[in-house]
């Protein structure tokens, strides 16, 4: 019986050793480091990123036909603007077209307080991918004073359902945290939020 007890003690010891560490898997469940306030190699706020209010927005990239080049969100930082408004729109979306027409008036009011508007297009009139020809037609109809770019890969699709367009997102240009996410266009609610974020200077 003593030999059996010795074997049993040995088995229990090995079982304990396998469950108390030393497996090399601990890193899989370790919490992510808090990178708040840190910058990546490009000078953009470091992740982890998210798609909800209060979370940092990834350094997304869009195509600007006016420049014939891509523009990233990181390119918009460092100026006088404090809040970035990103709108995601489509040609088939009636509310998007209505919003686009009044957006120049919004820019005239809020840009002096620190708002920068970037209007993105992800689909054309018929639901096809937005291209440069559609970009030109859209600008002819809306006569924008603000920046209009193409979201050809629909990267903003991670932040809303396309059938709920337009998406309006407000982002802190210093921290790149999402301050407000809303689908549809409610000008009164939008300007109320901007009044809080960009109060008039006394």
HEC secondary structure over 13-33:
HHHHHHHCCCCCCHHHHCCCC
Q: Is 4 helix (H, G, I), strand (E, B) or coil?
A: helix
In this structure, is residue 124 part of a structural domain?
Answer: yes
In this structure, is residue 17 part of a structural domain?
Answer: no
- Torsion region of 57: left, alpha or beta (phi above 0 gives left; psi -120 to 50 gives alpha): beta
- Residue 7 scores a pLDDT above 50: no
In this structure, is residue 45 part of a structural domain?
Answer: no
pLDDT at position 47: 86
Q: Is 107 helix (H, G, I), strand (E, B) or coil?
A: helix
In this structure, is residue 66 part of a structural domain?
Answer: no
Provide the total of helices (H) and of strands (E) in the chain, helices listed first. Answer: 4, 7
The better pLDDT of the pair 96, 42 is held by 96
The better pLDDT of the pair 177, 19 is held by 177
CATH of the domain at 146: 3.40.30.10
Residue 149, both tokens: 């770019």
- List, for residues 148-182, the tens digit of each pLDDT value: 999 999 999 999 999 999 999 999 999 999 999 99
pLDDT at position 201: 80
Cα 42 from Cα 75, distance rounded (Å): 10
In this structure, is residue 6 part of a structural domain?
Answer: no
In this structure, is residue 65 part of a structural domain?
Answer: no
- CA distances 41 to 38, 59, 131, 162, 177, Å, are 10, 12, 31, 33, 18
- Residue 29 scores a pLDDT above 90: no
Identify the burial level of 2 via C-beta atoms within 10 angstroms of its C-beta, where 0-12 means exposed, 13-18 middle and 19 or more buried: exposed
Task: Band the pLDDT of 37: cuts 50, 70, 90.
Answer: low
99 alpha carbon, distance to own chain's centre: 20
In this structure, is residue 183 part of a structural domain?
Answer: yes
Quote the number of domains for the chain. 1
pLDDT at position 42: 73
In this structure, is residue 71 part of a structural domain?
Answer: no
Cα 66 from Cα 105, distance rounded (Å): 21
195 lies in which domain range?
78-202
């Amino acid at each position: 019986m003593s030999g059996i007890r010795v074997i049993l003690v040995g088995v229990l010891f090995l079982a304990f050793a396998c469950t108390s560490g030393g497996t090399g898997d601990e890193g899989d469940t370790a919490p992510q480091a808090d990178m708040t306030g840190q910058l990546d190699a490009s000078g953009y706020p470091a992740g982890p990123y998210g798609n909800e209010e209060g979370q940092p927005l990834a350094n997304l990239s869009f195509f600007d036909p006016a420049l014939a080049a891509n523009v990233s969100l990181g390119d918009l930082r460092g100026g006088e603007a404090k809040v970035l408004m990103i709108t995601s729109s489509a040609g088939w979306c009636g509310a998007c077209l209505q919003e686009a027409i009044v957006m120049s008036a919004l820019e005239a009011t809020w840009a002096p307080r620190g708002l920068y508007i970037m209007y993105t297009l992800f689909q054309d009139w018929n639901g096809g991918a937005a291209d440069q020809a559609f970009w030109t037609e859209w600008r002819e109809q809306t006569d924008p004073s603000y920046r209009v770019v193409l979201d050809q890969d629909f990267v903003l699709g991670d932040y809303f359902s396309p059938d709920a367009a337009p998406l309006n997102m407000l982002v802190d240009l210093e921290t790149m945290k999402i301050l407000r996410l809303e689908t549809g266009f409610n000008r009164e609610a939008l300007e109320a939020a901007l009044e809080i974020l960009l109060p008039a200077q006394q």
